Amino acid sequence: MSTAKELVGYLPVGFPDLPQSVDAALALLDNGVTAIELGVPYSDPVMDGPVIQEAANAALEAGFRLPDVFRAVEGIRQRSDAPVYVMTYWNPVLQYGVDRFADDFAAAGGTGLITPDITPDAAADWIAASDRTGLDRVFLAAPTSTDERLRMIAEASRGWVYAVSTMGVTGAREDVDSKARALVPRIRAAGAERVYVGIGISTAAQVAEVWDYADGAIVGSAIVRAIQQDGAAGAARIAAALSAG
């Protein structure tokens, strides 16, 4: 397994529209981001901060539908071999059909799902579908997770584990919570081979700090804000700045 440090860039599918979200993802990949995390716009988000909520609402108002996820993945895959993950709340997958979603996502070239609101002990259908299709499973671990829960997460995840840097919703923060530095070794001790840290990371210095102790850094709100301001050009600029760390 690769030991390279990863920089994952998050953006909502369909923001500001579907073609522009694909262009922004490719601009990120062309300027130092190593993997894409596509967010599925959802009307009742649990952990999205105001910047991402605003962008997701704009995508919904512009007519986003779940099959747009697969079109976006295909559009990125046509021009890049970088991993493309999708972060989605579980209800849209249930409504679409777990096996159908897995099949369509795999056929589009997707790498795996990040599922913030479903735990491994409630994910039997997804675990079976992802085993069948070879998709990665990324579950979230929080500073409040018990060692027993971390072992369950590490065992069920495939690809990497998402370490939530701080409790609360997404959004750029001046300081990435020091709890992340304590959480990552706990996740590794529970059996995870790779751990990425997300929530609150917005600068090159913070990316470099996370790379000191984790395998990847995930940046969301800062990228979405740059896309709000200047589309794909904004994505290119912030990716170059972040990767400079």
Return d(Cα 165, Cα 103) in angstroms, integer: 32
CA atoms within 13 A on the CB side of 172: 17
Strand partners, 163: 141, 197
User: Of the candidates 6, 25, 38, which has an alpha carbon nearest to the alpha carbon of residue 197?
Assistant: 6
Residue environment code for 110-133, b if the CB has 16+ CB neighbours within 10 A, otherwise e: bbbbbbbebebeebeebeebbeeb
Please report where in the chains the tokens 């069920």 appear, as a residue.
156
Burial class (CB in 10 A: 0-12, 13-18, 19+), 1: exposed
Whole-number Å distance between alpha carbons of 77 and 89: 23
Rounded CA-CA distance 181/204 in Å is 17
Catalytic site positions: 37, 48
Q: Are 192 and 154 in contact (CB under 8 A)?
A: yes
Task: Please provide residue 44's backbone torsions phi and psi, each rounded to the nearest 5 degrees.
Answer: -135, 65
Question: What is the CB neighbour count within 10 angstroms for residue 43?
Answer: 10
